[in-house]
Structure 1
Amino acid sequence: MTSDLRHVLSKARCRAACMVLVVLLAVPAQAENTRYTIEETSDGGFVRVDQQTGGMLKCAGERDAISCVPINDDSQKLREENAELRAENSALKQRVAELEQAAKAPEATVKGSTEKQLDQIAGFFEDMVRRLFRFAQSLQEKPGEEI
């Protein structure tokens, strides 16, 4: 019976130590405008969440001692990815603004290139018409020859 009593007392001391730790952790949390949130878990331990960084600790008591272990989460990776996406978004917005500005640019450059293209097309048709007339003249000079 003494071992059962020791076990009960040990468990009671562990719970009391957990409660003292919870109270001690809660006092600074209230002073810091509730930076930390402490929630009891189903296994008798508790989880402390840092409201500013998102970091979490899982605490449990075993034989007169309390141990806390960080809970791995992806919040840091998500924050880094968020920062990368924001930078990419900013760069894309800047590129869109540059393209919109280029689209609103004076039409002189567009007209200049269009006029050059029209000159090339007109030159092509002039050459084609000259060749056609030369061909027609060559047919008139040599009637009766088969083509």
Structure 2
Amino acid sequence: MHKTCLSAALLLGLGATAHAQETERFQMQKTDGGYIRMNTQTGAMSICEERDAQLICRTAVDETAVKTEPAVSLQARIDRLEARVATLEREQRSTDAVADEEFDKGLDRMERFFRGFMGIVREFDTGSKVEPDRT
């Protein structure tokens, strides 16, 4: 029986401690239109009003969060766009290198063609300088 009473006392003590922590967690301040409730652990604030014998609370808008949310969203978008631009620039450099290589190959082919063509022209030129056979 002694153990049962001790257990009950401990449970009541723990319950009282939990209740004390819960009440310390929130602070209420009366205003003209109702109450302001502040969560002492997170700093979140709520605006509360009495309606039909009930306390109705709604979260107060944090202006700094409202102002920073779009900035964070825009920064994330900028980061994604910058990464995409970097990828496209790398691909463009790679494409440019391939195009330059193909252009150089084309020039080499044209040079070989013209050298061969000029060789044929020289053969005709030297062939025409030979005196015709008059026998």
Q: Into which bin does the TM-score normalised by the smaller protein fall? A: 0.3 to 0.5
User: Greater share of helix residues, 1 or 2?
Assistant: 2
Q: Compute the TM-score of the two structures, normalised by the length of structure 2.
A: 0.35
The two structures have a TM-score, normalised by structure 1, of: 0.33
Bigger RCO (CA 8 Å, 6+ sep): 1
Rg larger for: 2
